[in-house]
Amino acid sequence: MIGTSKPEYYFILVCIVGLHYLAPLALIYCASNIILHGIKAAAYRVPLIIEVIAVAESLFFLCVFLPYRAYLQREAVHPPLPTYEERKELFRLCNDNIPNPEAYLRKWFLGAELSEIRRENVKEFLLWAFFNRGGPPRDDDEELEEYVSEMEQLLGRPIEPGWGNAKCLRLTLDEVKMLHRSLVWYLCVGFVDFLTYMTLLYHGFHFHRTRLSRFFTLFPFRFQSLFTSYHSPAKHTMYWHRPHTSKTKLPVLFVHGIGIGYYPYTNFLSELNSTAGIESSNPDEQVGIIAIEIMPVSFRITHHALGREELCAEIDQIMLEHFGPEQKFVLASHSYGTVVTTHLLKNPSIAKRIGPIVLIDPVSILLHLPDVAYNFTRRLPVSANEHQLHYFASMDMGVSHTLSRHFFWNQNILWKDDLDGRRMTASLSGRDLIVDTTAVGRYLCDRPKSVLGGYTDEPDLVSIEDPSGSESSTLRLRGGEMDYENIDQEWKSRAWQGTGIDVIWHQDLDHAQVFDSRTSRLKLIAVIRAYCEER
């Protein structure tokens, strides 16, 4: 992710304008050429390369983008309706973890005034969020009334009856919003993919392709697939593998986030088996790595995102191929990959083999909060990093379709209880433009029995253990609730313990920037290497 400086702002705007308006200019050129010259338009009047690009971009826009965009507007196939008890429990968990109820409601309603968010508006939102459907209330109206009443208690005021002018964000029901990508852009993606291939090969990774009969189901085409002898046991899922030779350490499964594939992670993956930049020749130091590729969120034109069960089944096939049926492993994931982590943790046959977990810029924790959905899909970009996120990620055809038709928040959300006592480290960035990392950090670090040293004799004071070993500090409570202005500083600076839930806080980093700096990467690598020691 780029920064927010003026030079970066102008740079990203130039890139967006150059890539986005290439197709309209090509269409205008071809149309005017035909109108002015008729059948003689085929005889080129400018350098051949310009003619070729103009015709190719025009055909791609008319014959691929327009029909594909219409195709991707098909309705989502929602998962089965949870039971009444499951809905009640999910609603309770959500309500118990809303830092600012008014801001929560307004953001789900795209910034509408509270006076315009009325009872029927809230029911429309709840029908999508907890019942996986749109339309008016039916026999579920009584249950909806229960939820609205509990929301009124949370807000501390009644919600007016009837309809207001507010419109809520209903990700899997709303239009799939996307912007055209030029052929030149896909050529860039293909070139970066080839660089990634060569880099990971150099560092001892093997690329495992799917069947060659699926070669044309992915664009830009991966010609490196024609030269690898390694095959994926899964139908759709390709991956990178580095053999596990250590007999005393756990291997690692890694899942990337939305972006251009594994290019931003090459240094991170290659450094997992090195110390001070030098790779050990000791086989017992060589930790095996499987890096799963999620093509629908990697700026490609390909198959739609796999459902939860199908994706877990394919990842399980891959792990059985390399790790075997009993081998535990460290599970690490970044951003969208943390959603895959949620699915794996909720799959019984896989969960029993999952050891410690590392979540980097996690989007799955507190996913009921509107920040991830709003910031990624609805926020109008202003700064350079927001423009980069909006154009290159949010408006990509595959990414937009995945989030709008195959992203079901109630399946993807991760609660602390889902960790089932595993050791876990979350890497959070203070300037994250997608996730409310402060809310996530507070939630993860709010552990009264393990973190708080115990209540003092004074009812409005609480003693906090300093993990560095120094004297405990005392923080004042406000009406029985923690004074987060003080405790924020404590959990953000707390030393990594390696037991229970840990948070690594990067105050000055944005989403995904943790992989840009060797210093911040090494912090993550140290955690993963420590977790690999668990047998």
Could you give the CA distance from residue 196 to residue 202 in angstroms, rounded to a whole number? 10
Could you give the CA distance from residue 168 to residue 121 in angstroms, rounded to a whole number? 8
Classify burial at 151, counting beta carbons within 10 Å of its beta carbon; exposed 0-12, middle 13-18, buried 19 or more.
buried
Q: Which fold does the domain 203-266+286-444+500-532 belong to in CATH? A: Rossmann fold (3.40.50)
Are 528 and 330 in contact, with CB atoms under 8 Å apart?
yes
CB count within 10 Å of CB 508 equals 9
- At 167, which amino acid appears? K
pLDDT in tens, 196-210: 999 999 999 999 999
pLDDT of residue 281: 65
Are 97 and 154 in contact, with CB atoms under 8 Å apart?
no
Could you give the CA distance from residue 355 to residue 508 in angstroms, rounded to a whole number? 30
Could you give the CA distance from residue 287 to residue 322 in angstroms, rounded to a whole number? 13
Beta-bridged to residue 207, according to DSSP, are 240
Nearest to 272, CA basis, from 295, 297, 249, 298: 249
Could you give the CA distance from residue 69 to residue 66 in angstroms, rounded to a whole number? 5
Are 62 and 54 in contact, with CB atoms under 8 Å apart?
no
220: preceding bond cis by omega (within 30 degrees): yes
pTM, two decimal places: 0.89
Q: How are beta strands 501-506 and 424-429 bridged, if at all?
A: parallel
Nearest to 371, CA basis, from 427, 324, 438: 438
Q: 335 by DSSP, 3-state: which?
A: coil
Residue numbers in the chain where pLDDT is lower than 70: 39-45, 275-281, 283, 447-489, 535
- List where CATH 3.40.50.1820 sits in the chain: 203-266+286-444+500-532
pLDDT of residue 535: 66
